[in-house]
Structure 1
Amino acid sequence: MPFEADREVPGLIVKFGGYPLHHGGVGAIRSLGRLGVPMYAITEDRGTPAAASRYLRRAFVWPTSGGEAPERLVEGLLRIGHLIGRPTVLVPTDEEAAVLIAEHQDALAGPFLLPPVEADLPRRLASKQGLHELCEEHGVPSPATAFPRGYDDIAAFAEKARFPVVAKNREAFLRRSRPAVRGTTRIGTREGLLALARDWGERPGVILQEYLPREEAEDWIVHAYFDRDSTPRAMFTGVKVRSWPPHAGMTAHAYVVDNPELADLAARFIKRIGFTGIIDLDLRYDRRDGLYKLLDFNPRMGAQFRLFESGSGVDVVRALHLDLTGRPVPEGEQRAGHRYIVENIDLPALLAYRRSGYTTPHAPARASGTELAWLAGDDPLPFLTMLARSLRPGAAHLYELWRTNRRGGTTRSGG
């Protein structure tokens, strides 16, 4: 490998909320741990796959919901920083963590190393409304979207809308005890929309969005790391073949595909808004008008980030650590044709997609190599722990909770 990481600077995986079967955190532990970087992680308990990794020096067991007072979460992070005892690179795995770190970076900057992002920017980007407004401001295509302030606004929208439409929680990154909709909800008729809206209260926390038909679209992803000048130090593009839940959830199977147009769109947008750090973008290519439309902006590493690695051995988490420790990030082309499979969700996704007839023409006919989310010959215990945890009583409920909280499944109403 043409670079060496600073082994004196640890990494800390920061996650809030109960989603123990998270392969992204395991991937980050392995990625930096294989370079000799001491790795620490916040975990729900000692029986999570992340806690079982041979590359983890210590798991800090800290059950959270993500809805605690920010002061309490900051205090907990500072306590962990004191226990580690030296400057540590923070690697958030969810929006709550990314937003909290950005908004309290002055308090955290002593014991921790973090990108100097504008404090309110991650919250705006993680918010559906904030992202849509930034897209409009900077000329980035996104689905047509309405932000109703009450039932009357929804009724007026229903009179003019072309159905089906999609409903999403306006602030999807904030965990709620009773969200208006469960994840991405496709609504087929005016009557179905009005029936749902009666339960949304006086101030519906939803957005209503045009539906991009899956038979006329492809799902693309961009993962990148941007330095303090919003210059990309690692940039990757790929196509999502399957997700779980189907068409609206986490990536189950994806390929690295070179897409200079998409990379340029992402780089220009990031430069204009001045973002610093890791990004995970979801875009849908609309074949009807030839535009890539930005659906989600995750201001942190994505769970599938290990799909992407350059020829010089750099992924976005390694780029983050190298840059924040003052080391150059080697350039290199991405591994075109490489694929990524999440073992525990790809089989149900495969069966669902076969029934739907969805295709991704840009996916390579044959993979140049495969990265598995869980199974690794040098670190087998997270895979075994994942299997054991998936099969034990209550696992289905835990996964449903994870799915709901992490921008989960697609439901339908009125057709």
Structure 2
Amino acid sequence: MRAGKHAARPGAPPRFSRFTAARLEWSDPWRHPDVLAGTLLTFGATQPEPPVLFYEEDGDLLFISRWRETLARAFRFVVPDATLVEDLVDKERFQRLATALTLPVPGARRFDPATERPGELGLRFPVVLKPLTRRPESWDPVAGGAKALRVDTPPELAALWRRLAAAGLPLLAQELVPGAEQRIESYHAYVRPGGEVVGEFTGRKIRTWPLERGESTALELTDASDVAALGRDVLARLRFAGVAKLDFKRDPAGRLWLLEINPRFNLWHHLGAVAGVNLPALVYADLTGAQATRRAPPRARAGARWCRPWVDWRAARATGLPLWRWAPWALACDAKSVVAWDDPLPLLGAAVCRPLRSAARAIAAGYSLEPTGRRRSPSL
């Protein structure tokens, strides 16, 4: 395995890995993209050949896309067309694009609680509310860590309106596709310019935390031919080139609805690599000129599982799964987030840094704890 260089948040697990050869100063790509670009370009100029860039979050994706011409002077990377990136990340733009291409998306509408009064959305309830572009620091206080908020009736939406308006975020209301989180399935692919699918696999969620519309805590690869076929068709209609994850939800009648497309690297790629389809490695081979002879895309091993143990046990417990049943299941997972017997420091480092970061955020927010445990603002 090659050693990597990381520009990641302080305390992020990759910074502690024995496979990390250098740690770059991190700057928020949302707030300080120019500083981050300067850090990367300074580093890239010292390397004997242009390094390959990988990116996992929406902020990283938008930064690389918007600074692509500058970064290409010192790095190699795969990123879709600039306009398409903006269309896929912004949920309102994605809804317009999907409608124009007749993609199978649920009905949705943009609204801004800060400037509009509660009114008729023209949608069937229940609906889910999402920020147009999700930034955890602004959305998590509204949704409590969930990716979206479920609203069952117009009166419930009206009761939430003041809280939503206070957040100052324009939102997308989307008709809810019935079914549990386990009915969310995904298609993952790396596509070369021209439409050649180099690698692909399908999967489904097992658990999330929070249990509804939360972050994935347990995943499983599948062999869903209809998901793969629809995923390929959607990417072909978009004339997509790059790495993508397409999230679908299967309704009670078995129909697949497209929820979103994420054109970036993600946690699923760890499981895919363990199961035989290493999408980041295929990208790396193309960018470094080491691609193998072109052939049919490899098949991933269906049934391979991934979990994030320290969060998944909470999700499992909330579903009624006892610890004595969950623990052997988790140990048998083919891939585990951060946990690796041959590289234990990421887990240990994250465990130490997490409470320190929480304390730092509390201090930065201007709060302290009274002996009773209640928060109070410091005296001015």
The reply to whether TM is greater than 0.5 is yes
Change in 2 beyond 3 A, CA 1:119/1:240: same
Spell out the pairing of 1:259-338 with structure 2 (5 A cutoff): 259-288=224-253, 290-309=254-273, 313-329=276-292, 331-338=297-304
Distance 1:371 1:69 in 2: 34
Change in 2 beyond 3 A, CA 1:84/1:197: farther
- Secondary structure of the residue that 1:163 maps to in structure 2? coil
Task: Please tell me whether residue 106 in structure 1 is matched to residue 79 in structure 2.
Answer: no
Distance 2:312 2:196 in 1: 34
Distance 2:330 2:12 in 1: 33
Shift of 1:147: 1.5
Shift of 1:328: 2.3
Task: Please tell me whether residue 373 in structure 1 is matched to residue 352 in structure 2.
Answer: no
Match of residue 175, structure 2, among 188, 210, 214? 210
Deviations 1:47-95 (Å, cap 9, x if unpaired)? 4321111111111132x33322543332332123224442011101111
Deviations 1:95-129 (Å, cap 9, x if unpaired)? 11112212221111121111263112112101111
Match of residue 188, structure 1, among 129, 152, 155? 152
Q: Using the TM superposition, name which of 260-269 and 214-223 deviates more.
A: 214-223
- Secondary structure of the residue that 1:230 maps to in structure 2? coil
Distance 1:166 1:195 in 2: 15
Distance 1:303 1:376 in 2: 15
Shift of 1:285: 0.9
- Secondary structure of the residue that 1:113 maps to in structure 2? coil
Partner of 1:77: 40
The one-letter code sitting in structure 1 at the alignment partner of 2:335 is: E
Partner of 2:186: 221
Distance 1:226 1:177 in 2: 33
Change in 2 beyond 3 A, CA 1:153/1:225: farther
Shift of 1:398: 6.7
- Secondary structure of the residue that 2:59 maps to in structure 1? helix
Spell out the pairing of 1:16-415 with structure 2 (5 A cutoff): 34=1, 37-45=2-10, 47-62=11-26, 64-115=27-78, 117-148=80-111, 154-157=118-121, 161-172=123-134, 174=135, 177=138, 181-182=142-143, 183-201=147-165, 205-215=170-180, 218-288=183-253, 290-309=254-273, 313-329=276-292, 331-354=297-320, 370-390=334-354, 392-395=355-358
RMSD value, Cα:
3.1
Deviations 1:338-376 (Å, cap 9, x if unpaired)? 111111111011122339xxxxxxxxx999962111221
Distance 2:28 2:173 in 1: 27
Distance 1:72 1:39 in 2: 21
Distance 2:155 2:21 in 1: 55
Distance 1:181 1:97 in 2: 23
Instruction: Answer whether contact 1:308 1:334 (CA < 8 A) is retained.
Output: yes
Unaligned runs of 5+ in 2: 322-328, 365-380
Change in 2 beyond 3 A, CA 1:100/1:65: closer
Change in 2 beyond 3 A, CA 1:369/1:65: closer
Change in 2 beyond 3 A, CA 1:212/1:117: closer
Shift of 1:38: 3.4
- Secondary structure of the residue that 1:141 maps to in structure 2? coil
Distance 1:393 1:368 in 2: 31
Change in 2 beyond 3 A, CA 1:138/1:341: same
Distance 1:107 1:215 in 2: 44
Distance 1:340 1:221 in 2: 14
Instruction: Answer whether contact 1:279 1:302 (CA < 8 A) is retained.
Output: no
TM superposition score normalised by structure 1: 0.75
Change in 2 beyond 3 A, CA 1:306/1:83: same
Instruction: Point out the structure with max Rg over C-alpha.
Output: 2
Instruction: Answer whether contact 1:92 1:98 (CA < 8 A) is retained.
Output: yes
Unaligned runs of 5+ in 1: 1-33, 356-364, 402-415
The one-letter code sitting in structure 2 at the alignment partner of 1:122 is: V
Distance 1:94 1:155 in 2: 34
Partner of 1:22: none
Instruction: Answer whether contact 2:185 2:250 (CA < 8 A) is retained.
Output: yes
How many residues are matched?
A: 348
Distance 2:181 2:272 in 1: 26
Deviations 1:255-311 (Å, cap 9, x if unpaired)? 1110121112111211221222221222211123x2211222211111232111377
Instruction: Answer whether contact 1:165 1:209 (CA < 8 A) is retained.
Output: yes
Distance 1:190 1:305 in 2: 39
Instruction: Answer whether contact 2:307 2:330 (CA < 8 A) is retained.
Output: no
Instruction: Answer whether contact 2:80 2:263 (CA < 8 A) is retained.
Output: no
The one-letter code sitting in structure 2 at the alignment partner of 1:72 is: V
Distance 1:178 1:56 in 2: 31
Shift of 1:181: 4.1
